[in-house]
Structure 1
Amino acid sequence: MNTFINNEEFKKKVIFIMGATGTGKSREIEPDSDFTAEDFCLQAVIYIEKILKTQRVPIIVGGSNSYIEKLVEDPVFMFKYKYDSCFIWIDVEQSVLNRRVDMRVDQMVKAGLVDEVRHIFIPDADYTKGIRRSIGVPEMDRYLREETNIDGDDESKQMILQDSISSIKRNTRMLICNQLAKIQRLISEKMWSVHHIIATDVFKEDREEDLDEAWTNTVLQPCLDIVKIFLKNDYHNIIIDCT
């Protein structure tokens, strides 16, 4: 008698929203501490189970693709055995993404990026650990050193600041390229089945729809359609809220 049961039917559902990201600062982690891939996985598993107990679908949004890969692929966490994953990749054309990066960095500067970095600035700090290795922090080192130089003139300091901002933009673009390459590798080498949503039209300046309408039509609705199909035969009485 064949007692084999298809485990695929009884796996719990988890959704991943992937894509290239800009810069950001975490306020939940001490500046000098490292939040490792293992830390991420341990926390993710805890919260996934908490959410599943409420009969809702865990959705993991963003984060390092390397961290997501470890969570899914590392046999220690048995993720593939316990969970059925739906991967959705929100993608934007590189030229449009680069323009958005420049705008976002400028907005961050206006919102107080320099003050935020100044708050954690320590001369000769180790920029390989914790939040200090985040894009936006090491690039400001030269400016913050020059800022305290009483012999430096304001014009020179402003030039250094602009150079620092340009470095943030350049390094963010490089980060995006690396992130996109990692997603492509997960598809080609790890054989992840990833739903590819192209969101470029949403961010084009000459779009005819307003931003919210364009986002709904181009990104949100296709994602909801994918998720509905993914959850169609779920055996865990998942609550679906598509409002």
Structure 2
Amino acid sequence: MEHGRVAGKPKVVFVLGATATGKSKLAIALAERFNGEVINADKIQVHDGVPIITNKVTEEEKSGVPHHLLSVVHPNADFTAEEFRREAAGAVARVLSAGRLPIVAGGSNTYIEALVEGDGAAFRQAHDLLFIWVDAEQELLEWYAARRVDDMMARGLVGEARAAFIGVGADYTRGVRRAIGLPEMHAYLVAEGEGAAGAAELAAMLDRAVREIKENTFRLARAQTEKIRRLSGLDGWDVRRVDVTPVFARKADGGAAGDDDDTWKKLVWEPSEEMVRRFLEETTTTPPAASVPTVVAAGGDAGVVATASTAPDVAIAAGGGDATADTM
């Protein structure tokens, strides 16, 4: 069965969620299972550059799944929600024409809303849509987000920021430089370059920068969650909430190796796989419930289907538009 072209309207799956909730992991797993391709909806990751700071999936993590609108915009360019709407709609059309399932995944809900509701809601009216919301209890999400920042530091965040640093007059309102992790490093990198601060002072400035990165990440996650909650109430948005809190709880408890993966498979992957399977089998769109349901558990086997790929997206040239500074 061509998963993107069952009877009725073409079907598109969205994976929503705040930063650090595991959207990319789930989107890639769904693409493997249902012969799909991932369309990036993160307004920072659409730019080329700083892969550690922007938490881009690696080639290994992609598992051979084609990705669209990832690292295709010049680092200094703006890329508006309207530009995203046009490019993403084109990517969806190409994936569907190949008989595959488009999976739109990312934390920039301004982009996602522009795609779904822009141009008179043309996209929503032309497609059957399923939205999977990967969510977690705030305290544990922030604990995990902080741990992820620590991991980014270990993988080379400082060196990546140093390589991207362009001096005292750096503009952090455009392009990839809006990414959390670059503005916060500015004062430290200026002091380091001037050479006047001692080792202890530099260490204190770096600690302060890391704290700011974490605090701004928490603030972003809260804003993203609130925006998804608002979108869930819109007409035509069939949003299904999947709770990843138990996965973070297992990590926080320091369980045996593999315990958190087993929890993810049982409480996140299996219900998500079942939801998408049922969605693809439907011939008409099921009206969304009045409130957002939370999926607790479900059955299902996680088989792998997809192996084919399509031509990669061409790079988008620098320039154009007034990109909003928010990353929600």
TM beyond 0.5:
yes
Amino acid paired to 2:282: N
Query: Which of 180, 201, 204 in structure 2 is aligned with 1:135?
Result: 180
Displacement of 1:63 in angstroms is 3.7
Counterparts of 1:158 and 1:96, CA distance in 2 = 28
CA root-mean-square deviation: 2.0
Is the counterpart of residue 35 in structure 1 residue 79 in structure 2?
A: yes
Counterparts of 1:117 and 1:30, CA distance in 2 = 17
Is the counterpart of residue 24 in structure 1 residue 67 in structure 2?
A: no
Which structure 2 residues correspond to residues 201-212 of structure 1 after superposition, within 5 A?
201-204=246-249, 205-206=252-253, 210-212=259-261
Offset from partner CA, 1:91-142 (integer Å, 9 cap, x none): 1111111111111111111111111111121221111101111111110000
- For structure 1, the 5+ residue unaligned runs are 1-8, 236-240
Partner of 1:65: 109
Instruction: Give the % identical residues.
Output: 39
Higher mean C-alpha deviation, range 194-203 or range 23-32: 23-32
Partner of 1:222: 271
Is the counterpart of residue 163 in structure 1 residue 208 in structure 2?
A: yes
Contact 2:124 2:236 in 1 (8 A): no
Higher mean C-alpha deviation, range 94-103 or range 53-62: 53-62
Contact 1:25 1:134 in 2 (8 A): no
TM-score (norm 2): 0.66
**Which is higher, the Rg of structure 1 or of structure 2?**
1
Contact 1:25 1:131 in 2 (8 A): no
Higher mean C-alpha deviation, range 86-95 or range 145-154: 145-154
Amino acid paired to 1:47: A
Q: Decide whether aligned partners of structure 1 residues 83 and 64 sit closer, same or farther in structure 2, where only a CA change above 3 A counts.
A: same
TM-score (norm 1): 0.88
Offset from partner CA, 1:188-210 (integer Å, 9 cap, x none): 35562210111111121336871
Partner of 2:152: 108
Which structure 2 residues correspond to residues 61-210 of structure 1 after superposition, within 5 A?
61-75=105-119, 78-122=122-166, 123-190=168-235, 192-204=237-249, 205-206=252-253, 210=259
Corresponding pairs, count: 230
- For structure 2, the 5+ residue unaligned runs are 1-6, 21-52, 57-70, 285-301, 305-328
Is the counterpart of residue 15 in structure 1 residue 8 in structure 2?
A: no
Q: Which aligned runs of 4 or more in structure 1 are off by greater than 6 angstroms? A: none
Amino acid paired to 2:176: I
Contact 2:129 2:238 in 1 (8 A): no
**3-state SS of 1:188 partner:** coil
Counterparts of 2:235 and 2:176, CA distance in 1 = 30
Counterparts of 1:189 and 1:213, CA distance in 2 = 34
Displacement of 1:12 in angstroms is 0.6
Contact 1:31 1:120 in 2 (8 A): no
